[in-house]
Structure 1
Amino acid sequence: MSAAPPPTGGFVRRLGLFQATAINMSQMCGIGPFVTIPLMVAAFGGPQAVIGFIAGALLALADGLIWAELGASMPGSGGSYVYLRQAFQYRTGRLMPFLFVWTAMLFIPLIMSTGVVGFVQYLGYLAPGLGQGGGDLVGLGVIALVVLLLWRGIEHIAKITAVMWVVMIAAVALVIVAAFTHFDAGLAFDYPEGAFSFTGTAFWTGFAAGLTIGIYDYLGYNTTAYMGAEIKDPGRTLPRSIVFSILGIMAIYLLLQVGTLGVVDWHRMLDPDDIASTSVASAVLEETWGEGAANVVTVLILVTAFASVFAGLLGGSRVPYDAARDRVFFRPFGKLHPRHGFPVLGLATMGVVTAGGFLIGRHTDLATLIQLLTTVMVLVQALAQIAAVTVLRRRRPDMKRPYRMWLYPLPSVVALAGWVVIYGYADRNAPGRHPIEWSLAWVALGCAAFFLWARREKVWPFGPREIREDHTADPESEPVPVSP
């Protein structure tokens, strides 16, 4: 595996393997498992919910190998934007990268907003009298602080992320140790009748809901792919950071899930008036080491949630930058801060959308917000990237690939099956919310926006297709026109 050429656009390669893995793991863990364990139990109807975390890990690993190959081959800022631009330019011009940026500006900050919702949810354990209005103000303040801390150079951010990663590991380790020092196997494996009835529709509906929650908890394994232009030796670092972070978080989640179920009766997690349904990790510490320890660990969980939002907006803010410099998104998004070299408008915009998503999540429910953001992501990112790996292997066999997907095409097939299950069951698992219809409407609106933009810019389908097969070419250089 060889190092990539220097990046264009003002970014500097300063993040090594440890920092890259820490960024991924901070984004992956965050508040996710601490708020979704009760949601997972509700989806499956019992402690067999551990199946959801295992299935989510398998899907994340299969999809992560797709990211690893694409990221190592095309280590530029923007992640999926770069990959879709290269794979689909031959037939649909700039449509697919445009649609990705269009949807990413929505689903990335919505993912971050769930982290802020969880932050306020756990803060309620320490301040039970916070109230709805107070919680809203705290959440908005957290988002503003994250944006402020990101308003600086990447070398300072790398140090902050490493510290937050240590806090995250400490938080989950304390919960796991507390749980297993008071572990009751009778509680952990108290399966209800019919828990593993694979022939019934109820199990598979619960499985689809659990898989959605599971993959949501693992999201973030691709964060460093969005920052490919800032990674040292990306051909080696990107694949390893993705695989290491998935395997590490998988071990943490399984221990956390089983340990929690061995301390807190799963029936309590289904009671909305019980603290175990909103702050289950705090309930574990309260049951094992007492209220004082529960308060300390709750503070660590709040720091962990903050770190997740921090890492997510760090990577996500880079997405529109590369697209804007390549004339596929609004040009102001292509400007970097003159001193610190970060994309100003991308960070500011995603901060605002995160705030809006946080308020929506606070006034609806977390499970529905997860279903909505996942369905949008599946169409334009997950399924499109599976196709992109195959397209690029066939069209560009000579492309430099420092890492090639293990057991190709098996991971692509596994990932495809998982994403189709999630999408196909979305309406059933969010009754009355219509996530499938909303995702299709958002993509259709993006197509309309693209055609209006393409007509103004006189590009395909209102001009010749433009093929640029060297992903390291200067985005400001003129592409080669190809007759339709």
Structure 2
Amino acid sequence: MAENTLVRRLGLAHATAINMTDMVGIGPFITLPMVIGMMNGPWFLYAWLAGAILSFIDAMVWSELGAAFPKAGGSYNFLKETYGKTGMGKLMSFLFVWQTMIQAPLVIASAAIGFASYFSYLLPLSAVEAKIMSGSVVICIIVLLYRKIESIGKISMVLWVGVLLTLIWIIGGGLAHGNFLSPIKHINDGLTLNYAFVAALGFASVKSVYSYLGYYNICHLGGEIIDPAKNIPKSMFISIAGIAVLYMLMNVSVVSVIPWQHAKDSGFVVSEFMEQLSGHAAAKIITCLILLVAFSSVFSATLGYSRIPYAAAADGAFFKVFAKLHPTGNFPHVSLLFLGGVAFIFSLLFKLSDVISAILAMRIVIQFISQAWGLFLLRRRKSETSFPYKMPLFPIPVFLAIIMWVGILISTGFHMVLGGLSAIALGVVVYFVKAKANKEWPFNITAKADKNPQHF
């Protein structure tokens, strides 16, 4: 085994567990009342359905690219391959790593902040104590991830079981209550298909989509997946289908006990739901399980993101220090420690409500829209045999994904969009300064001569 090479040790079960634990973090428990409040009616379930549909369509894009280019770094490699290794792909892949160095710690910090927020149900925390709690969560995650990938796969399986048991208990509680189908029967009560509904659906979908993010996490670990051409697409579709069903059932279960009019203003809606069903002791237990789920999500997300700067550095497109692997554990420890350190700082500085929209606004243009368009360009110039997985009805899902992501981007709000675009613009400036100093594209004569019009 080469000293600086990742090892394929993760199977389908591990891949699915990593995706699902990333998806079901603190997100659905804290965004459930947010979504209800934005929709302000029993039709809030449509926002969760919209998030599932977008995720499923976008997963087709990820599946084609993940199966064709199963390497560490995910979108870094996808953007480089789709826009040309010696041309525009250099800029696009650099911008992805650039935004990842900001956005990834934001994702990790959001879960840690959410953890501290929900912990307040067990023990009320002051503002300072909440910051100490969120920072401690990040530190614990880094300690757990500082080990070999096969050990991490086993830890992921244990955490995955905890996630499933938590959701099953919540759903089972609603079923046992005896009024489970009521929210579904009344889902269209007072519903009018007009601009107000569409606008509300867009704003609410920002929160529901946030709770689905992570279905592609395994693509960042492409270099460590066994039989990636099959297991990467399968793990994503299984994850989305499973989580969509669990989210819908959980929402129905909660509002079958706590009316949506009350649930939309609750800070601990699932804990209150369980307290009403089974008493205060049961509410404390479910809160502890929710905290385990939140912790699991930070674990899975940090694992995937730590491979992105490593992949770029190993490819010579980022600072060399990030390409270092641990001498005995064979994992990118420098990348892990850096992202964890920035996430620790973010967890002390930001509020959760701001972080959720910022995460989406920053990553949509480069990671989702540009990646989907890049696949369309790549499919035009390469034969279908180059793609082990091929989406049905190509290119319709690609265009649908782009349209829906544009809608989500707009729904994050003007200031978030402006902030995301500003970060990209700054990244473009940094890239051109770096490219000019290193005589890379577009300042390299060889690269210019190699540029193929078919790439654009």
Q: TM-score, normalised by structure 2?
A: 0.94
Distance in 2 (CA, whole Å) between partners of 1:162 and 1:186 is 32
Structure 1 residues 483, 54: closer, same or farther in 2, change over 3 A? closer
Match of 1:323 among 287, 312, 331: 312
The residue identity in structure 2 corresponding to 1:461 is P
Residue 450 of structure 2 is aligned to residue 482 of structure 1 = yes
Q: Is the 2:132–2:348 contact (alpha carbons within 8 Å) kept by the matching residues of 1?
A: no
Once residues 15 and 219 of structure 1 are traced to their aligned partners in structure 2, the CA distance between those partners, rounded to angstroms, is 21
Contact residue 198 and residue 204 of structure 1 kept, 8 A: yes
User: What is aligned with 2:211?
Assistant: 217
Matches within 5 A, 1:135-174: 135-174=130-169
> Residue 410 of structure 1: CA displacement?
2.1
Aligned counterpart, 1:18: 13
Task: Show the 5 A alignment for 1:33-182.
Answer: 33-89=28-84, 91-128=87-124, 130-182=125-177
Greater per-residue helix proportion:
2
Q: Take 1:141 and 1:172, find their aligned partners in 2: how far apart are those partners?
A: 25
Partner of 1:304: 293
Give the corresponding residue for 1:431: none
Matched ranges for 1:319-468 at <5 A:
319-362=308-351, 366-397=352-383, 400-427=386-413, 434-464=415-445, 466=447
Q: Which residue of 1 aligns with 2:202?
A: 208
1:73–1:402 CA contact under 8 A, matched in 2: yes
- 1:183 is displaced (CA, Å) by 4.5
Q: For residue 282 of structure 2, what is the aligned residue in structure 1?
A: 293
Residue 257 of structure 2: SS of its match in structure 1? Answer: coil
Counterparts in 2 of 1:10 and 1:297: CA distance versus 1, 3 Å:
same
Query: Residues of 2 paired with 1:63 and 1:381: CA distance?
Result: 11
**Cα distance in 2 between the residues matched to 1:279 and 1:93:** 45
Percent sequence identity over matched residues? 36
CA distance in 2, matches of 1:360, 1:190: 43
Rounded to whole Å, the distance in 2 between the matches of 1:115 and 1:247 is 22
Q: Give the conservation status (yes or no) of the 8 Å contact 1:93–1:465.
A: no
Aligned residues: 451
- Compute the displacement of 1:17 (Å): 0.4
Q: Indicate how the Cα distance of structure 1 residues 93 and 158 shifts in structure 2: closer, same or farther if over 3 A, else same.
A: closer
Segment drifting more, 112-121 vs 21-30 = 112-121
Note if 1:227 corresponds to 2:188: no
Contact 2:255 2:263 in 1 (8 A): no
Unmatched segments (≥5 aa) in structure 1: 1-5, 272-276, 429-433, 468-480
Distance 2:310 2:36 in 1: 40
Quote how far apart the aligned CAs of 1:91 are: 4.4
**What is the DSSP-based 3-state SS (H/G/I as helix, E as strand, rest coil) of the residue aligned with 2:120?**
helix
Aligned-partner residue type, residue 31 of structure 2: T
| Residues 318 and 343, structure 1, Cα contact 8 Å, conserved in 2 | yes
User: Structure 1 residue 353: deviation in Å?
Assistant: 2.4
Using the TM superposition, give the Cα deviation of residue 483 of structure 1 relative to its aligned residue in structure 2, in angstroms: 6.5
Instruction: Note closer, same or farther for the CA distance 1:231–1:193 as it changes in structure 2 (3 Å cut).
Output: closer
Give me the whole-angstrom Cα distance separating, in 2, the residues matched to 1:57 and 1:8. Answer: 40
Q: Aligned equivalents of 1:313 and 1:44: distance in 2?
A: 32
Query: What is the alpha-carbon distance in structure 2 between the residues aligned to residue 361 and residue 39 of structure 1?
Result: 18
Structure 2 unaligned regions, length at least 5: none
User: What's the secondary structure of 1:10's corresponding residue?
Assistant: coil
Write the deviation string for residues 207-265 of structure 1: whole angstroms up to 9, x where unpaired: 11121112111111011100000000001110100110000001100000111111112
User: Offset at 1:160?
Assistant: 0.6
Q: What's the offset of the Cα at 1:373?
A: 1.1
1:92 CA displacement = 1.7
Return the offset for 1:416: 1.3
Return closer, same or farther for 1:465/1:267 CA change in 2, 3 Å cut-off.
farther
Q: How far did 1:313 drift?
A: 0.3
Letter in 2 for 1:218: Y
Residue 126 of structure 1 aligns to a residue whose secondary structure is coil
Q: Distance in 1 between matches of 2:192 and 2:313?
A: 51
Q: Indicate whether 1:243 and 2:244 are aligned.
A: no
**Corresponding residue for residue 259 of structure 2:** 265
Among 264, 267, 272, the residue aligned to 1:283: 272
* Cα pair 1:336 1:342 within 8 Å, conserved: yes
Deviation of the 1:194 alpha carbon: 8.1
User: What is the Cα deviation at residue 30 of structure 1?
Assistant: 1.6
- Quick one: structure 1 residues 482 and 192, their matched pair in 2 at CA, closer, same or farther if it must change by over 3 Å? closer
Change (3 A) 1:436 1:222: same
